[in-house]
């Protein structure tokens, strides 16, 4: 089995499934055996009765679903629901730090897993809008020293953004998990797959993977002349007002932070023991995933996108538009985002999962709702996604 820390879509056939579908399968594997564990849970900060005045009944029903899962210990994390600029529901359940008894709060920073891919997609499209890059640009045009010539001469920015490049996943590297603590920058990630060739002819298939988004991060650095982390902070996080978001190092103090908990090891094998996920994480996340944020900051990101503070209206729609289909006919890859239809409602966003983190972020374009779910343990977010699919917010 592939390394379970892979940001978001896990497993050898990841490219052929939507993020939500494969994350659901993977997360269920993460929590096998949890029923036999005896845990003490803390419900924090809010309850369904604390909803904003005049909240629609569909949101109240969703809040009751969250409350039921949280109270039963089946969801630990934070949830935010908004319509337009108005936050209708914001709550948190469970423990951010079990050893210290610290509860999750709405301002707790959670590991984002693959949600960072959206920031990378937006950053790339900002460079395209500035005329510094094209979606048709080939890797070798920007990174002439790329070790694998077939990658440099064939793969385009468009293919990297849509998981159609033929590149694989650096989490499959034989250098891991021993080298996780050494992953502190994009060059460290790149070293894991720099000499690997293509799995298929670029553009001929889809395969979700993380390596392509590391290459995109390196392209951003080369074109902008800035470190990736500095570029997204200046051009994405600050304009959006995302003051609690970043690719913080594991040995860095950035409280309040949720520690992830899991009962599996790096290879996805069940241990039967609930423990923190420190040993399963890189030192620092990168352009493919692993940063940290809060539900409120991800909501701010959605507003900045919809208010065109990050990209022009035309570039925003191009970024959201589906480009490559998965096996799920209702799910498509966009530029760092994923699009899907839920009960006839068009949604764009991304999901993410690794050992000790399960997240989903959706903007419902027609109804105006935004839903952010960040979790530091368990399959609760997948249950909530299923609920929203069957009971869309009205």
DSSP line for 7-71:
SS--STTGGGS-HHHHHHHHHHHHTTTGGG------EES--GGGPPTT--HHHHHHHHHHHHHHH
140 vs 25: CA distance, rounded Å:
36
Helices and strands of the chain, counted as H and E runs: 13, 15
Positions in the chain short of pLDDT 70:
1-50
Which residue in 168, 146, 166 sits closest to 158, CA to CA? 166
pLDDT at 91: 96
pLDDT at 342: 79
pLDDT at 50: 53
pLDDT at 252: 87
Phi first, then psi: what are they for 190, rounded to 5°? -60, -35
Residues in the chain: 394
**Side-chain-side CA neighbours of residue 146 (13 Å):** 25
DSSP line for 21-34:
HHHHHHHHHHTTTG
pLDDT at 48: 60
pLDDT digits 0-9 by tens, 39-98: 333 333 444 645 888 899 999 999 999 999 999 999 999 999 999 999 999 999 999 999
Which domains can be identified in the chain, with CATH numbers? 14-390 (3.40.710.10)
pTM over 0.85: yes
pLDDT digits 0-9 by tens, 160-196: 999 999 999 999 999 999 999 999 999 999 999 999 9
């Amino acid at each position: 089995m592939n390394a379970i820390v892979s940001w978001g879509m896990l497993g050898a056939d990841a490219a052929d499934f939507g993020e939500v579908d494969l994350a659901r399968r993977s997360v269920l594997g993460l929590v096998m055996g949890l029923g036999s564990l005896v845990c003490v849970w803390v419900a924090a900060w809010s309850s369904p009765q604390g909803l904003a005045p005049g909240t629609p009944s569909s949101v109240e029903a969703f809040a009751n679903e969250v409350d039921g899962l949280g109270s039963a210990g089946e969801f630990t994390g934070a949830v935010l629901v908004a319509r337009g600029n108005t936050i209708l529901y914001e709550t948190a359940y469970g423990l951010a730090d079990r050893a210290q008894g610290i509860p999750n709060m709405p301002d707790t920073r959670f590991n984002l897993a693959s949600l960072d891919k959206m920031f990378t997609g937006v950053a790339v499209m900002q460079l395209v809008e500035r005329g510094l890059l094209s979606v048709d640009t080939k890797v070798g045009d920007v990174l002439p020293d790329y070790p694998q010539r077939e990658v440099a001469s064939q793969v385009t920015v468009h293919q990297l953004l849509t998981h159609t490049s033929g590149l694989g996943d650096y989490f499959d590297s034989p250098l891991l998990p021993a080298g996780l603590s050494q992953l502190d920058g994009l060059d460290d990630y790149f070293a894991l797959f720099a000499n690997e060739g293509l799995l298929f002819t670029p553009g001929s298939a889809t395969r979700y993977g993380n390596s392509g988004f590391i290459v995109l991060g390196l392209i951003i650095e080369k074109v902008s002349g800035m470190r990736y982390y500095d570029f997204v902070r200046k051009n994405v996080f600050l304009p959006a007002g995302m003051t609690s978001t970043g690719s913080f190092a594991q040995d860095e103090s950035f409280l309040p932070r949720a520690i992830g908990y899991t009962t599996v090891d790096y290879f996805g094998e069940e241990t039967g023991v609930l423990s923190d996920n420190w040993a399963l994480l890189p030192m620092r996340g990168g352009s493919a995933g692993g940063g940290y944020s809060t539900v409120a900051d991800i909501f701010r990101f959605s507003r900045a996108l919809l208010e065109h503070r990050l990209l022009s209206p035309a570039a925003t729609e191009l970024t959201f538009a589906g480009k490559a289909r998965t096996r799920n006919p209702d799910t498509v890859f966009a530029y760092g985002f994923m699009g899907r239809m839920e009960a006839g409602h068009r949604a764009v966003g991304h999901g993410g999962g690794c050992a000790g983190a399960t997240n989903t972020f959706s903007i419902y374009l027609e109804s105006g709702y935004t839903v952010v779910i960040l979790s530091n343990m368990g399959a609760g977010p997948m249950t909530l996604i299923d609920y929203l699919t069957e009971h869309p917010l009205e």
